[in-house]
A and B are shown apart, each in its own frame.
Chain A
């Protein structure tokens, strides 16, 4: 790979690493408490399995990004990296999608199932989760662009038109 392509992929991976770490930190520090009818209620991210899955998936992706950043170029493992990128992108999109689905129920409720929205009582929790979702979305987008770029780098030389 040429120098420009390598720098481009490096930047994208750094962006994804930063976004996943930010998402983890914001999600883990989200908590709120409210007093309803003289009873104290707590809202934490660990109450919902979807948010726990979000944190775990982002942790796995950040560790993988860190490992790949330190991989020396011209190593034969780069073929494996392209394949693992597909799996990691799938993991990221599934995590952000699941967290978004549950957060939607928390914000708007579901009248058919009799589920009331909880964002009115826990505004700080909802804001934190929203921030974490945005960071997770940026990470997923960065990895998608990285995947398409890597694929283009592998297949691109086939379509070089001679001058």
Chain B
């Protein structure tokens, strides 16, 4: 059955205009959840900071203290994590807005093509950021005896806990985005099959 709005040209020609099938509600809900997850990960990691005052030495009878801070900017992996999650949440927000009120703002059905492509790129970016931050946190939690790198999580407990929470939220967002992308691809392939079968 031909999708509505398709113009039948001569036999053998593919129709030039295809109307988009109505978006199921579940895709919108999943995308909203993914937006919330990535936004939460961005905010929690961006506000991740902990200071600790330690006694470094004792001169005479007065202790010499030094204040050490743990911030997310100290590690490039965490900076990349924040940037990737910010880009992903912005992308999710944009697609949500487009889905709600964008049926009019369409140019030759370009929206049908651009959203899955943008989804793939954001998935690649987000997976890179999340995994880099995950392995960096593992290094901070367990240290590396071979390279003589000490663990830092025993001193900065709150920093590690917040970072772990942001990581979990980011991975949930990544999984949801993956499900959305796979569902979009399956819909596109089904659409292609019905369109190609409609042409005699």
- Residues of chain A touching chain B, judged by Cβ–Cβ distance below 8 Å, are 41-43, 47-50, 53, 79, 82-83, 86-87, 89-91, 93-98, 100-102, 104-106, 110, 112-116, 118, 140, 144, 147-148, 151-152, 154-155, 157-162
Are B74 and A102 in contact (CB-based, < 8 A)? no
User: Do A151 and B117 form a contact, CB below 8 Å, given A86-B185, A90-B178, A101-B135?
Assistant: yes
What is the CB-to-nearest-CB distance from B121 to chain A, in angstroms, rounded to a whole number?
Answer: 8
Q: Which residues of A contact B192 (CB under 8 A)?
A: 154-155, 157-158
CA separation between A148 and B121, bound complex, in Å? 9
In the bound complex, residues from chain B placing their C-beta under 8 Å from that of A100 are: 132
Interface residues of B in 141-200 (CB under 8 A from A): 144, 146-150, 152, 174, 178, 181-182, 185-186, 188-189, 192, 195-196
Task: Give, as a whole number of angstroms, the nearest-CB distance from A66 to chain B.
Answer: 22
The secondary structure that dominates the B interface is helix
Q: Which of B108, B123, B131, B139 contacts A159 (CB 8 A)?
A: B108
Q: Which of B146, B150, B185 contacts A114 (CB 8 A)?
A: B150
In this complex, which of B110, B132, B146, B188 has the most chain A Cβ atoms within 10 angstroms of its Cβ? B132
What is the bound-complex CA distance between A101 and B136, given in angstroms? 7
Contact A155 B116 (CB under 8 A): yes
Q: B18 — nearest CB in chain A belongs to which residue?
A: A158
Is B130 among interface residues, defined by CB-CB distance under 8 A? yes
Question: Taking chain A's interface residues, is the majority helix, strand, or loop, or is none over half, making it mixed?
Answer: helix
Complex interface: chain B residues within 8 A of A114 (CB): 150
Q: Which of these, A102, A113, A151, A154, contacts B120 with CB under 8 Å?
A: A151
In the complex, the answer to whether A94 meets B127 with C-beta atoms within 8 Å is yes
Known: A115-B149, A116-B148. 4 other contacts (CB 8 A): A93-B127, A98-B131, A101-B132, A104-B76
Q: Offer 15 A-B interface pairs, CB within 8 angstroms, sorted by A.
A: A49-B138, A79-B186, A83-B185, A86-B178, A89-B124, A93-B127, A94-B127, A97-B129, A98-B132, A112-B75, A144-B120, A147-B120, A157-B195, A158-B109, A159-B110
Residues on B with C-beta less than 8 A from A83 are 182, 185-186
Contacts of B16 in A (CB 8 A): 159-162
Q: Smallest CB-CB separation from A90: which chain B residue?
A: B127
Given contacts A90-B127, A147-B120, contact A157 B14 (CB under 8 A): yes
- B70 in the interface (beta carbon within 8 A): yes
Q: Are A97 and B9 within 8 A (Cβ)? A: no
CB distance from B106 to the nearest CB of A (A): 12
Report chain A residues within 8 Å CB of B147. 43, 47, 106, 115, 118
